[in-house]
Amino acid sequence: RSYLEMEKLFKVYVYEEGEPPVFHDGPCRSIYSSEGRFIFAMEMENRMRTRDPELAHVFFLPFSVVKMVKMIYEPNSHDMEPLRRTLSDYIDVLSTKYPYWNRSLGADHFMLSCHDWGPYVSSADGHLFSNSIRVLCNANTSEGFNPSKDVSLPEINLRTDIVDNQVGGPSASRRPILAFFAGGDHGPVRPLLLRHWKGKDADVQVSEYLPRGVSYINVMRRSKFCLCPSGYEVASPRVVEAIYLECVPVVIGDDYVLPFSDVLNWPAFSVRVAVADIPNLKTILAAVSPRQYIRMQRRVRTVRRHFMVNGPPRRFDVFHMILHSIWLRRLNVRLHGQD
């Protein structure tokens, strides 16, 4: 009902200030594709985008942190101040030109970033960090992510515009591997996973890199559970990859707020494992009965449409789920002067 209400009522104003590529642009292929795809879809949107700011429920700040890093950041300088200054100047322009930012102190505005530095860049303005709706892949509660006002953005690694060949997988009976992970040894969680499980158990297949000629997607399709440990930051594109391939995701990390968790019942179609429980992974996963697993896999297939990237967007897909998460948080905002 909330979603249908959103479709009927919700209006988003997209600020037109700012020049591409840092504004109104973003990567549409890469691990950061969620950022560019949303910006592009929002700019093309007809139903929920309004050109009249007086009709808007929320205001979108269409900057791309990925493009900022590419265009403004000096490689290896470790100096993010130019990015923060760019964003601070941008908000100064908007707050001077329009009454809307000052009216709510940013509370009915939202930004969206899939870059690891998104939360840090958002601290360029205290109201943006504390009041605005921050839609972030790096949804880390230990770094100030606030689930009551911020939105967890799915990290989706799009290599091509065609997602269909990355979707679907066999039933449980045709998945001989209990659990699988292959990926780089970085961040605080993966070294623990690799130390405990790398090359030690045929049922829990954990490695840094697959042998030449072995297909990552095919091994995921042969696995019942796909391990999704945090890397440098809490989010992992493997969560959505697993959902696409009908492999039950196993989220390993302690501070990650999962996408759309205010409407999706993640425990029904995924497993959450604390970092401290990495040594017990096999015991935890083996305890899931065949009947329970079949139910979980069926639910993975059901929720998959909410993570699908479509061009143009379709009802209930990832673009609309992001908007719905923003809509839910906007309902909690009270503007100065409102009853």
Apex CA 127: angle with CA 64 and CA 72, to 5°?
30
Residue 166 pLDDT? 82
Cα separation, 275 vs 234, whole angstroms: 12
Over residues 166-176, the mean pLDDT reads 95
What range defines the domain where residue 83 resides? 1-159+310-331
CB 307 within 8 A of CB 270: no
Q: Is residue 112 part of a domain?
A: yes
Apex CA 122: angle with CA 240 and CA 322, to 5°?
35
Cα separation, 317 vs 89, whole angstroms: 34
**Same domain, yes or no: 106 and 150:** yes
CB 279 within 8 A of CB 301: no
pLDDT per residue as tens digits for the range 116-140: 999 999 999 999 999 999 999 999 9
Q: Is residue 338 part of a domain?
A: no
Cα separation, 111 vs 101, whole angstroms: 13
Going edge to edge, which strands form the sheet with 204-207? Answer: 204-207, 177-182, 223-229, 248-252, 271-273
Over residues 276-290, the mean pLDDT reads 98
Q: Is residue 295 part of a domain?
A: yes
pLDDT per residue as tens digits for the range 216-257: 999 999 999 999 999 999 999 999 999 999 999 999 999 999
Cα separation, 150 vs 138, whole angstroms: 11
Greater confidence (179 vs 311) lies with 179
Predicted confidence band of residue 17 (pLDDT cuts 50, 70, 90) = very high
Q: Residue 329 above 50 pLDDT?
A: yes
Q: Is residue 339 part of a domain?
A: no
**Same domain, yes or no: 60 and 184:** no
Phi, psi of 300 (to 5 degrees): -55, -45
CATH of the domain at 257: 3.40.50.2000
* Angle, in degrees to the nearest 10, between helices 33-44 and 318-330: 80
Residue 29 pLDDT? 87
**Same domain, yes or no: 281 and 314:** no
Over residues 281-296, the mean pLDDT reads 98
With tokens 């998460």, the residue in question is 325
Predicted confidence band of residue 27 (pLDDT cuts 50, 70, 90) = confident
Average pLDDT value for the chain: 95
The domain total for the chain is 2
Q: Residue 164 above 80 pLDDT?
A: no
Q: Residue 50 above 60 pLDDT?
A: yes
**Same domain, yes or no: 79 and 22:** yes
Residue 260 pLDDT? 98
Residue 176 pLDDT? 98
**Same domain, yes or no: 148 and 183:** no
Q: Residue 73 above 60 pLDDT?
A: yes
Residue 200 pLDDT? 95
Over residues 192-198, the mean pLDDT reads 97
Whole-prediction pTM: 0.95
Share of the chain above pLDDT 70, in %: 97
**Same domain, yes or no: 101 and 182:** no
**Same domain, yes or no: 55 and 78:** yes
**Same domain, yes or no: 22 and 121:** yes
pLDDT per residue as tens digits for the range 140-160: 999 999 999 999 999 999 987
CA distances from 259 to 28, 132, 219, 235, 238 (A): 19, 18, 25, 10, 13
Predicted confidence band of residue 338 (pLDDT cuts 50, 70, 90) = very low
The answer, yes or no, to whether the previous bond of 27 is cis (omega within 30 of 0) is no
Q: Residue 69 above 80 pLDDT?
A: yes
Predicted confidence band of residue 162 (pLDDT cuts 50, 70, 90) = low
Q: Which two tokens stand for residue 12?
A: 């988003």
Predicted confidence band of residue 332 (pLDDT cuts 50, 70, 90) = confident
Q: Is residue 110 part of a domain?
A: yes
Which residues pair with residue 59 across a beta bridge?
13, 109
**Same domain, yes or no: 302 and 319:** no
Q: Residue 300 above 50 pLDDT?
A: yes
Over residues 66-76, the mean pLDDT reads 95
The answer, yes or no, to whether the previous bond of 313 is cis (omega within 30 of 0) is no
Residues in the chain: 339
Q: Residue 161 above 70 pLDDT?
A: no
